[in-house]
């Protein structure tokens, strides 16, 4: 796609042709619309109306570079540097996972059962980009929100996102598997986590844009697929208030086992929920 000037509609068609073997037609349409919207500032509907608009040389050069990165299976969000989550824009790069719609559903579940009149103490474990913690603080401004991650790079980016959105989050670099470091944390009314849960078997089935570009530290577990869930449930014995709520995003293959773990620790009102793909991916338990 080495061209100097072209109409918007023509460039979109050329981009789709160059990337036709990358993914499904539906996903490709979404990627191209997202990329061109980022470049032009136009909505999908506006781009149809403005399809004869001439793009300048700088924009075409950007699109040519983006094409090469897409052909290398780099996610669109890392190219644009932005991921949309619950109506907010989050800066993302290879230091953090790209926020998923399924995680938005988990956050919406928390918001649907939270007491919006109460100043809750909330902990987000494995915060990554900060999308969960920042969204909850934005929606529950009276609450005190803590966010932890093992990665200093992730925490640095999450702090940038908190500043951009304009919320105060308490960030700490803590490995939740380390009993000594996590012991310093206080008690919370809500603990939420989307921990690593992708097994080696699952990894073989994943798309290259995820495996090759997103941080393995935030995705993969080597042996026990429940290692983080066990650690967080154990942690919650001393760090979740009575009647406090524990929310998990899960690997659908192990949701039942997580429910069993919660039951063994005398959690009540345990509930599983499906995501938009009709997969059992979320669990809630209430601490006695």
Q: What pLDDT digit, counting tens, does each position of 174-217 carry?
A: 999 999 999 999 999 999 999 998 887 777 777 888 888 888 88
pTM of the model: 0.93
Residue 202 has a CB neighbour count (10 Å cut-off) of 15
Averaged over 217-221, what is the pLDDT? Answer: 86
Angle at 164 between CA 113 and CA 31, to 5 degrees: 80
Q: Are 130 and 162 spatial neighbours (Cβ–Cβ below 8 Å)?
A: yes
Whether the per-residue pLDDT at 173 is higher than 90: the answer is: yes
Q: Please report the pLDDT score of residue 203 as a whole number.
A: 78
Query: Distance between CA 255 and CA 234 in Å, rounded?
Result: 17
Domains defined along the chain, listed by start:
6-72 (1.10.8), 86-286 (3.40.50.150)
Radius of gyration of the chain (CA): 21
Percent of the chain with pLDDT strictly greater than 70: 98
DSSP state of 117: T
Between CA 95 and CA 210 the distance in angstroms is 13
Tokens 């026990």 — which residue? 224
Residues in CB range of 266: below 8 A, 6 or more apart: 288
Give me the sheet containing 280-286, strands edge to edge.
170-173, 144-149, 121-125, 188-193, 240-249, 280-286, 268-274
Q: Is the dihedral of CA 10, 62, 211, 169 positive or negative?
A: negative
CA distance 270 to 251: 17
Q: What is the structure's pLDDT at 249?
A: 97
**Are the C-beta atoms of 247 and 189 separated by less than 8 Å?**
no
What pLDDT does 112 receive?
96
Contact indicator for 124, 142 with CB cutoff of 8 Å: no
| Angle 147-115-171 from CA coordinates, rounded to 5° | 10
Is pLDDT of 162 > 60?
yes
**pLDDT (mean) for 60-81:** 95
Choose the weakest-confidence range: 175-184, 196-205, 218-227, 265-274.
196-205
What pLDDT score does 5 carry?
A: 62
Say if CB 206 and CB 182 are below 8 A apart: no
From 78-87, 119-128, 196-205, the region with the lowest mean pLDDT: 196-205
Task: Please report where in the chains the tokens 């500032």 appear, as a residue.
Answer: 41
């Amino acid at each position: 796609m080495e061209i100097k000037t072209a109409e918007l509609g023509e460039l979109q068609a050329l981009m789709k042709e160059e990337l036709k073997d990358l993914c499904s037609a539906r996903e490709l349409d979404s990627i191209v619309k997202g990329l061109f919207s980022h470049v032009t500032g136009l909505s999908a509907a506006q781009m149809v109306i403005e399809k004869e608009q001439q793009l300048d040389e700088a924009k075409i050069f950007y699109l040519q570079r983006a094409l090469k990165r897409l052909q290398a299976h780099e996610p669109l969000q890392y190219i644009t540097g932005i991921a949309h989550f619950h109506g907010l824009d989050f800066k993302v790069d290879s230091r953090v996972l790209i926020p998923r719609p399924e995680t938005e559903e988990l956050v919406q579940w928390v918001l649907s059962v939270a007491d919006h009149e109460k100043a809750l103490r909330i902990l987000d474990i494995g915060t990554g980009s900060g999308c969960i913690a920042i969204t909850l603080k934005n929606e529950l401004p009276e609450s005190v929100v803590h966010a932890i991650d093992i990665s200093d790079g992730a925490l640095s980016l999450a702090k940038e996102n908190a500043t951009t959105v304009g919320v105060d989050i308490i960030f700490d670099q803590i490995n939740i598997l380390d009993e000594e470091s996590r012991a310093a944390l206080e008690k919370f009314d809500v603990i939420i986590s989307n921990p690593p849960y992708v097994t080696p078997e699952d990894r073989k089935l994943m798309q290259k844009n995820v495996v090759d570009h997103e941080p393995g530290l935030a995705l993969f577990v080597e042996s026990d697929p429940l290692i983080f869930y066990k650690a967080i449930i154990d942690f919650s014995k001393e760090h979740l208030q009575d009647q406090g709520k524990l929310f998990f995003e899960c690997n659908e293959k192990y949701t039942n086992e997580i429910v069993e773990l919660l039951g063994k620790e005398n959690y009540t009102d345990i509930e599983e929920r499906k995501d938009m793909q009709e997969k059992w991916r979320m669990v809630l338990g209430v601490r006695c």
